Amino acid sequence: MTETRLLDDRYEVGALIGRGGMADVHRGRDTRLGREVAIKLLRRDLARDPMFQTRFRREAQAVAGLNHPAIVSVYDTGEEQLGTDAESASGLKVPFIVMEYVDGRTLRDLLASDEVSFDQAVDYALGVLSALSYSHRMSIVHRDIKPANVMVTADGSIKVMDFGIARALADSAATMTQTQAVVGTAQYLSPEQARGENVDVRSDLYSAGCLLFELLTGRPPFVGDSAVSVAYQHVGEDALAPSALNDDVPAAFDPLLAKALQKDRENRFQDAAAFAHALREAREGVPYSDDPAEAPTQLIGTAAAAAGLDESEAATEALSLPSAETSALPTHDSSDPTVAMTAAAPHATTPEDSWHEDSAHEDSGHTIGAHARERSPYEKRRRRAWIIVFTLVTLLVVGGGGWFVWNWSQQIQAQNVRVEVPAVEGMTQTDAQNALLAENLRIAEIVEEFSDDVESGFAIGTRPGEGESLRVDSAVVLLISKGPSSVTIPDLAGATESSARATLEELGLEVETEMKEENSATVPADRVIRTNPAAGDPVAGGSTVELTLSTGMVSVPDLLSGLTVEEAEELLSDPAYGLNITVNEVENAVVSPGTIVDQSPEPGNDIEQGGTVTVDVAVAPPSPTPSPTPTEEESEEPSESPSADESPSESEAPSESPSEDD
């Protein structure tokens, strides 16, 4: 049975439910609170890259202070240690984010399956604008609004997620990554992002306009064969009217999206609330206009179209209609302004009509006083109607004003509630953030500073400091230690690269990405030979240290030729080489016997540590045995045996003497 993976002794990691450009998202469970969560883990292949580490931590910082029903909540952050052995090459710290688990589908999936109706498109866009309005108030720009980053829950609610490239407004000028690649997705990129300029809240509203366009028409406003061609269209071309691509889209949405997709951000909606208001008006059939004076004309034109009149006739009817009589008509639905306007028109009396009636009465011999007495019931009804209308308007104004004043006073009272800055010194960065958020304080910035008293990665304190009395939602700067300002380089000889890197980073030092390699007879392969600066040297905190690693090889010396075997053995067994020797004798009549005349491998070549060098040693050749010549044989025969001529005389001499005696 597979062992359950547990993060921070609390979060069980379940099945993979999503994968992005820099992180994997798993379904998980908080064992302490017993709730389902989503766990976002930085991909292991990117864990060594400081740029992705920074982007991942920025997402946690950006969303940690956002608490809105249309934004995916972040519960906790931390780091997972991969590998428990200090010498393990996989001993990396991989950051993770614990988020709210959302059971739903992304807008991208709904669009792909063609499951978005007109009313749903407007509702979804309003939900996104609500989330942006809140994040913008909290000084966070999302910078990557697109269908894949918007979830729709089972009840139709909206959840905006993936603040991986979000930035605070104070830092929004940095629109390029370290590789100078434009941040964002091409189909929803604002013109200023495509040009590499700084971004602000209006950049998010442009992307929201692209999202609304796709929800209404089923396709983004600009399409092309490549991301570059789409980016060029965002900068230099105008989008088609959505009603031209989808007959079900009312024409009132054309000027709305034309406003949202303006190239110059000064001509767009300036905030999400204005965009949302215009979107609601467009759903009611009121086209957007930059000129406020055109709004009544737009309403009249809409009413005229419904009643079959031209705009001039509808305007005349509207201007001639007494408001009291309009409100007194019982046979028409007051909720329909067109019906109320056209039905009440025959009962309207213009000043000119009254003047003609008075003249006619005067011509027939009636006095003005008599005429006034004849019209007194009408005048009373009219006066009574005006009094009622005035009273209602007064009550509405007074009631609305009272509600506004009460609401304003409550907001002021809530804003004036004061809290004390908690003590965070010695806490981890995550715990310090949670402590500040628990007191309803907003983390404006996280600043790293050197500290001789606080370990690297832990909180030094805050600005304003501990115990200071602040208003709720006040901005606080969190100070995180980078370790002591002066650090002594430790002795890392023989350590693995990963353990040496971890040791240096814990001391607040950085490690050079390019490693040097050298041959070594004593240090195993891929282990540290030395550091630069050297071990024991004091350096400033944050300094960069260069590691030199062993190749596990030894260079064969080139001084063996001409040495004796004993001298070569002494040289190769030196700790600088640590090599063995094998002797191979070869006959050589020129070189003195016992002298090395050749070696293998050749001088300067690399061999493994403890390898063997074969040397050829000269030995004297054997002396040749000469062949005997005929002259030599003849000269040697007398010495070996007497010749045939001399033998008789020599043998006869002793035999003659006894015969003479006889």
pLDDT tens column, 427-438: 999 899 889 988
Q: Is residue 498 part of a domain?
A: yes
CATH number at residue 39: 3.30.200.20
- Write the single-letter amino acid at 75: Y
Using DSSP's 3-state secondary structure scheme, residue 661 falls into helix
User: Residues 512, 546: one domain?
Assistant: yes
Whole-Å CA distances, 337 to 193, 341, 512: 44, 6, 74
User: Residues 192, 148: one domain?
Assistant: yes
Domain boundary (67, 82, 101) is at 101
User: Residues 574, 539: one domain?
Assistant: no
Distance from chain centroid for Cα 269: 27
Give the span between the Cα atoms of 620 and 566, in whole angstroms.
18
User: Residues 505, 612: one domain?
Assistant: no
Q: Which two tokens stand for residue 353?
A: 């009509």
- Write the single-letter amino acid at 409: S
CATH number at residue 122: 1.10.510.10
| Other Cβ atoms closer than 10 A to 3 | 5
User: Residues 207, 248: one domain?
Assistant: yes
Q: Is residue 83 part of a domain?
A: yes
Q: Is residue 425 part of a domain?
A: yes
Give the span between the Cα atoms of 479 and 459, in whole angstroms.
6
Of 49, 103, 144, 473, the catalytic one is 144
The response to whether 40 counts as a known ligand-binding position is yes
| Beta partners for residue 39, in sequence order | 26, 98
Phi/psi at 425 (5° precision): -60, 130
Domain boundary (74, 101, 128) is at 101
Give the span between the Cα atoms of 154 and 158, in whole angstroms.
10
Give the span between the Cα atoms of 435 and 512, in whole angstroms.
35
User: Residues 606, 492: one domain?
Assistant: no
Phi/psi at 638 (5° precision): -60, -35
What is the torsional sign of CA 241, 242, 246, 251? negative
Instruction: Judge whether 144 counts as a catalytic residue.
Output: yes
| Beta partners for residue 446, in sequence order | 478
pLDDT of res. 408: 80
User: Residues 138, 183: one domain?
Assistant: yes
Q: Is residue 464 part of a domain?
A: yes
Give the span between the Cα atoms of 258 and 282, in whole angstroms.
13
Q: Is residue 136 part of a domain?
A: yes
Per the listing, tokens 């519960």 go with 75
Give the span between the Cα atoms of 657 and 662, in whole angstroms.
9
Q: Is residue 625 part of a domain?
A: no
Per-block mean pLDDT, blocks of 10 residues, the chain (662 long): 77 86 86 91 78 74 80 86 51 82 92 93 95 90 90 92 60 39 70 88 94 94 88 91 92 94 94 94 89 47 41 39 35 35 34 38 39 55 85 88 81 74 92 88 88 87 91 90 84 90 86 87 88 88 88 81 80 83 82 81 84 85 68 51 45 44 42
pLDDT digits (tens, 9 = 90+) for 433-492: 889 988 888 898 999 888 888 888 899 999 999 989 888 888 999 999 887 778 889 999
For Cα atoms 441, 446, 447, give the angle at the middle one, nearest 5 degrees.
Answer: 135
Give the span between the Cα atoms of 363 and 355, in whole angstroms.
12
User: Residues 112, 96: one domain?
Assistant: no
Q: Is residue 383 part of a domain?
A: no
pLDDT of res. 90: 47
Domain boundary (270, 290, 310) is at 290
User: Residues 212, 125: one domain?
Assistant: yes
User: Residues 271, 226: one domain?
Assistant: yes
User: Residues 31, 61: one domain?
Assistant: yes
Tell me which residue range forms the domain holding 568. 555-619
User: Residues 150, 222: one domain?
Assistant: yes
Residues composing the chain? 662
Using DSSP's 3-state secondary structure scheme, residue 605 falls into coil
Q: Is residue 138 part of a domain?
A: yes
Looking only at the bridges linking them, the beta strands covering 442-449 and 475-481 are parallel
Whole-Å CA distances, 6 to 13, 84, 109, 314: 6, 14, 31, 71
Residues 6+ apart with CB under 8 A from 168: 62, 139, 140, 141, 444, 445
Tally the domains of the chain: 5
pLDDT of res. 257: 94
Picking from 144, 183, 180, 136, the residue whose alpha carbon sits closest to that of residue 161 is 144
